[in-house]
Homo-oligomer: A and B are copies of this chain.
C-alpha cells in the first residue's frame, strides 16, 4: 500500500492510496478520511461507493463529509469505481461501461472477468486491507453511496448483513435489471442469463433477505435520471411487501449532483453514527 497524498482536514487526515489488488489483478486506488478520534482508539468505518465516471477522489472533495465524520468519530473510505488501464478491450469506449463504471459486480463474462471484480473488492479485499492498515473496528461497518454507488451499497449490505450494520444511499439505482444503465452493465459483465443478475439487484434481493435496520434513501425530485434510471418507488414497494423498514425521503427541487449529496450528508452520517458509534 502506497500513500500518494495526504492533507489535514477538520483535525483528521484525508489520504489517497494505491495498492496492488489481487482480486482485480491490477493497481487500485482508494481514499481514506481518518477522524481525529482514530489517533486514540479504533473507530467504526463507513464505506462510500461513488457513481458513474467518478474516482476515489470525488466524494472526499465534494461531499463535505469530513466535518461530520470528525464530529462522530467515523472513518470514511471511498474506493475507485472500477479498475483502470487494464488493457481490457473497449474499457474506455463508453462512459457507462468499463472504466469508471464497474457497477460493483464480479464480472463473469469476457473480456471483463479478468479485472472487473468490484463486488469482491469492496466486500472482501478492501475491508481486509483497511483493517490491516488503519485503526478501525472491523465489527462496526456501514456502507453508503450515490447512484451506481447507491446500488452498490444496497447490494453489498443486503448480501452481507453480518458485515454491515448500516446502509444508506443518495439517488440509488435500486432496480438495475429494469433500467438501461443496469441492463447494459449486467449483460456485458454477467452475460445473458438474467437469473444471475438478481444477486446484484436490490429490488430482487429484498424479496429474499432482510436488513436488520431501517435503510435510509434520499432522492432529489428534480433528478434528471429519476424516472428513467432510478425509480425509487419500485424499491419502496418491494420493501413494503416484505416488511423491510425503509426511510425514503423525496427531496423537492434537488438534482443528481454533489450539491444534493452535500445538503444531506450530515443526515446520512448521523444515521450511520447512531448505529455504528457507541
Binding site for B on A (CB under 8 A): 7-11, 14, 61-62, 64, 66-67, 220, 222, 253-255, 257-260, 262-263
Contact = CB atoms under 8 A, between A and B. Distances in A.
Contacts of A257: 7
A7 B66 contact: no
20 contacts: A7-B254, A7-B259, A7-B260, A8-B220, A8-B222, A8-B253, A8-B254, A8-B255, A8-B259, A8-B260, A8-B263, A9-B259, A9-B260, A9-B262, A10-B262, A10-B263, A14-B259, A61-B61, A66-B259, A67-B262
Contacts of A61: 61-62, 258
Given A7-B254, A8-B253, A9-B262, 5 more contacts: A7-B255, A8-B220, A9-B260, A9-B263, A66-B262
A1 B253 CA distance: 23
A224 to B, nearest CB: 11
- Which 9 pairs of residues, A with B, have the shortest CB-CB distance? A9-B259, A64-B64, A7-B259, A8-B253, A8-B254, A7-B257, A10-B263, A7-B255, A14-B259
Nearest to A58: B61
